[in-house]
Amino acid sequence: MAEGQGPVVALVPAAGQGVRLGENKPKAFVDLGGTTMLTRAVDGLLQSGAVDRVVVIVPEELVESTRSLLPGDVTVVAGGSERTDSVRAGLAVADDAEYVLVHDAARALTPPSLIARVVAELRCGRTAVIPVLPVADTIKTVDVLGAVTGTPERSELRAVQTPQGFTAELLRRAYAAADGIATDDAGLVERLGERVRSIVGEPTAFKITTPLDLVLARALVEEGAH
C-alpha cells in the first residue's frame, strides 16, 4: 500500500470494572438499549467505514463470552490490571497497523462520523489526533487539603474524547517510553515532545462513567438519537 493508505486498527480497552457506575458488572458490559456499551462502541467503529480491524481487550475470564457478543472478525484478547497494560496487549496483536485508534468502550454513543474525521486527519499526515470540546465550567486547581491554588484560563481548556488516533510507530514509541499508569494515550505522546493535533469533538461522545451519565445515554437511545 502507498504511504498513508495502510490499515487502521482500533483498540478498545474494556477491562475496567467501572466502580463509579454502580453496576454489578464491568462497565463495558452494562446494558444500553438492549445491547452492551461495548457492542455499541464496536458497531460505531465498524460503521465509520474508516476502520479496517477492531481489537477488543477484556478481562481474561470474559474473552470467550465477549467473542460471542461481537462480529466474528473482531479480535478479542485478554487485558491487564491497568489501562496501559490493556493497550499494550492490543498493540501486540496489531502488527499490521499503520494507524491505531484507541477508543473507550464507555463512549458508546460516539458518532461514526467523528471516528471517520479522526482517521481522515491521520491519512492527511497528522501523527496524533484527538477530539476535544470546550470546557463549560470554571476549573480550579486545588491542593491535597482542598485549598484552591489557581484558576486556569477556561478559553485554553478542552475536555478530551476518544477515539484518539496515532501513527502506529508513534504510539508504540510512546508506550515503550511510558513509566507508570496513564489514563490518556495522547499524554504519553506529549511526553515524547511530539505534537498532538486536536479536532472538534461531539457532545454525544461523552464518557458514560456515573449513574447520571447512564440515565442520559439510555434516554438518548430510547429517543432514537442512537
Total structural domains in the chain?
1
User: Who has greater pLDDT, 150 or 5?
Assistant: 150
In a domain, 134, yes or no: no
Residue % of the chain over a pLDDT of 90: 84
Domain span at residue 75 reads 6-129+160-222
- Residue 202 is placed in which grid cell? 461531539
CA distance 54 to 211: 28
In a domain, 88, yes or no: yes
Distance in angstroms (rounded) separating the CA atoms of residues 118 and 101: 9
Average pLDDT over residues 90-115: 97
For residue 155, tell me if it sits in a domain: no
Residues 6+ apart with CB under 8 A from 60: 78, 79
Q: pLDDT tens across 46-57, in order? A: 999 999 999 999
Given the DSSP bridges, would you call strands 128-134 and 197-200 parallel, antiparallel or unpaired?
A: parallel
- pLDDT level of residue 225 (50, 70, 90 thresholds): low
What digits encode the pLDDT tens for the residues 147-190?
999 999 999 999 999 999 999 999 999 999 988 777 799 999 99
* Spatial distance between the Cα atoms of 174 and 75, rounded to a whole number of angstroms: 23
Q: Determine the length of the chain.
A: 226
Rounded alpha-carbon distances, angstroms, from residue 222 to 27, 38, 126, 211? 20, 18, 37, 16
Q: Let me know if residue 36 belongs to a domain.
A: yes
**164 lies in a domain?**
yes
Burial group, residue 73, by CB count within 10 angstroms (0-12, 13-18, 19+):
exposed
Q: Is residue 144 part of a domain?
A: no
Q: Domain of 26: which CATH number?
A: 3.90.550.10
| pLDDT tens-digit readout, 56-75 | 999 999 999 999 999 999 99
pLDDT at 82: 86
Average pLDDT value over all residues in the chain: 92
**Measured between alpha carbons, how far is 97 from 57 in angstroms, rounded to an integer?**
16
User: Is 70 domain-assigned?
Assistant: yes
End-to-end CA distance of the chain, in Å?
35
188 in a domain, yes or no?
yes
